[in-house]
Structure 1
Amino acid sequence: MDFPLEPRQGRLSILAGRVTRRVASLSATVSSYSLPRFGSLAFVIVAGAVVYGVILGGHTDDVLDGVGQPLGFSIDKVTVHGNSETSEIDVLQALWQTGSTTLLSLDPTDARQTLEAMPWIDRASVSKIFPDRVDIDLDEHRPYAIWQSDRSFYVVNRLGKTIVPYVPGRFDALPVVVGEGAAKTAAGIIDDMEGFPELRARVKAYIRVGGRRWDLELKNGVLIRLPEDKPLEALAEVVKMDRQNPLLERDIAAVDMRLSDRVVVQLTEGSASRRKERLAERAKLIKRLGKDKPV
């Protein structure tokens, strides 16, 4: 029964086969000389034992590097393309982590996997250009949004993959998404907001609620609660109301669009208190006017 080999194990097995075949060929040459048959057999056994010991001991790369350096196969040049956020120094350090110093021992698959484990690198390709050069092409993640999870902030790509922790500065202009699952679903609502540029410019954060719908927190603190179904229609209605009679600049806390038959406007605590006082004064005035009315 055949068992799948790990990439490195496969390379070692191929190497072992090649070396063994060379040893066998050499033994055939040796056997053509006037040596006892026992001597040829002993030569094959000893050589095979050496090859097996090298592979079993994990010294194959050392042997290949030892052979490759005198032959001029040392890695002397490394070209890096496609890097913006990843420095060439970091790429070189990752390449040296593979432990290879010559093209003979460098495994492109191992090098690629090492590079793709770095924070900014999405995909990498590694090519060996004999006798002494390595070409590396990188595709980096593109920052799309800042995701807030509890009290932590991260820069994420369009698919919601975490790239690096967020540090105030370069990425401040990215939209902020908040809540569990927000990073992976934010592209939909952010793309939809392209149709409402005047409202989009006023959004401070997109808040994911219950994994089902979105709230928009504006820069002035007003919260727009969108419905789970037909959120674009709700956004269009908010924009229409704001154009007709500036709504979002008023002293309100929230505009609730979750009910299909009505819009609920929530006042701020101060605004609600002032409204209550005005209503009380109006009631007193009406009562007083009623008393003064002639019979």
Structure 2
Amino acid sequence: MRPVKNRRRDPAPSRLRYRATRLWLRPGFRRLVNVGVPMIAGLAASWTLMAEFDLAGSVSRIWNDTRAAIVERPQFIISSMDIPGVSEDLAEQIRVAAFVRLPANSLEVDVNQVRERVESLDAVERASVRAHANGVLEIRAIERLPVVVWRSMTGLQLLDHNGVRVAEVDSRLRRPDLPLIAGAGAAAHVPQALRLLDGAQPLHDRIRGLVRVGERRWDLVLDRDQIIQLPEEDPLSALRRVMALHAAEDLLDRDVVAIDLRNPERPMLRLSEFAESELVRLRMIALGEDA
């Protein structure tokens, strides 16, 4: 009987070892084993210790005590608010909009949020907020100054030189010092309206207001129900021609109801009924038809 020869050992790795080697060659797996597992173990141990000895409560108490010791220092306390350079009414609006309850801590007051709340007011164009070391919260605001009263479908509103709403009034008598504009879309053309009003300065005491017609052009309304109908294009030049004619001939002191300049090449005058009848009578006299 032949003796059994020893089989030669296969040098190739087993399937399990091969897969384990391939897995270890992956960078993500190595990072997980080398970093993730120790981190998870550390967190678990820390959580166990914190739960066992109430370390979270101790840390929280230490943090609160430290924070209170810093926050309650006098140099961090805001005791007053200074709002220079604005009217008293706007200053009161700013105090309410700032929403800072005094005394307050400067570390807890978000000056950016305070500034945004102040700038949300219609009457404020821009604002800056600073907390000073002497316990004063300084709010500097650039106030929108109303230049016209706009009569819109929703009521009377005060507008600044850019047509931005400043405030609302319940009566025209609240601001008789400001000129009146009216009509849909008039707020978007306040700069042009101001130029026209400036060009009509010789009639300043007689101007009732400007009316935006069809969101395209202006009518200048005077007392005695006189109207100057301005063209859509270059209305200021047309108005200056009327002012020059009035200065030379006292045109607007006569029985003129309207001056129609909508077509600059064909200006027209509309007379009152009495003036028209008198004109007809004078023409008949000139023709010898009136006894």
Cα distance change of structure 1 residues 44 and 112 upon mapping to structure 2, 3 Å threshold: farther
Q: Give the Cα–Cα distance (whole angstroms) in 2 for the partners of residues 151 and 131 of structure 1.
A: 46
Q: Give the Cα–Cα distance (whole angstroms) in 1 for the partners of residues 131 and 191 of structure 2.
A: 38
Aligned partner of 1:266 in structure 2 is 270
Structure 1 residue 241 and structure 2 residue 245: aligned?
yes
Aligned partner of 2:15 in structure 1 is none
| Larger Cα-atom Rg | 2
CA deviation after TM superposition for structure 1 residue 119, in Å: 3.6
Where does 1:1-295 land on structure 2 (aligned, <5 Å)?
A: 38-39=48-49, 46=56, 70-72=72-74, 73-96=76-99, 101-130=104-133, 132-150=135-153, 152-166=155-169, 167-169=171-173, 171-273=175-277, 275=279, 278=281, 282=285, 286=289
CA distances 1:77-121 after superposition (whole Å, capped 9, x unpaired): 222222125354443333335798211210001111221223422
Q: Is the 8 A contact 2:78 2:102 kept in 1?
A: no
Q: Secondary structure at the match of 2:252?
A: coil
RMSD: 3.6
Q: What amino acid sits opposite 1:180 in the alignment?
A: A
What TM-score, normalized by structure 1, do the two folds share?
0.68
Q: What amino acid sits opposite 2:136 in the alignment?
A: R
What TM-score, normalized by structure 2, do the two folds share?
0.69
Cα distance change of structure 1 residues 45 and 210 upon mapping to structure 2, 3 Å threshold: farther
Q: Is the 8 A contact 1:223 1:253 kept in 2?
A: yes
Cα distance change of structure 1 residues 87 and 190 upon mapping to structure 2, 3 Å threshold: closer
Q: What amino acid sits opposite 1:267 in the alignment?
A: L
CA deviation after TM superposition for structure 1 residue 287, in Å: 7.2
Overall identity of the aligned pairs, in %: 26
Q: Give the Cα–Cα distance (whole angstroms) in 2 for the partners of residues 267 and 239 of structure 1.
A: 18
Aligned residues: 241
Q: Give the Cα–Cα distance (whole angstroms) in 1 for the partners of residues 59 and 285 of structure 2.
A: 104
Q: What amino acid sits opposite 1:261 in the alignment?
A: E
Cα distance change of structure 1 residues 152 and 280 upon mapping to structure 2, 3 Å threshold: same
Structure 2 residues not aligned, in runs of 5+: 1-45
Cα distance change of structure 1 residues 285 and 105 upon mapping to structure 2, 3 Å threshold: same
Cα distance change of structure 1 residues 151 and 164 upon mapping to structure 2, 3 Å threshold: same
Aligned partner of 2:43 in structure 1 is none
Q: What amino acid sits opposite 2:163 in the alignment?
A: G
Aligned partner of 1:6 in structure 2 is none
Cα distance change of structure 1 residues 48 and 270 upon mapping to structure 2, 3 Å threshold: farther
Q: Is the 8 A contact 1:68 1:74 kept in 2?
A: no
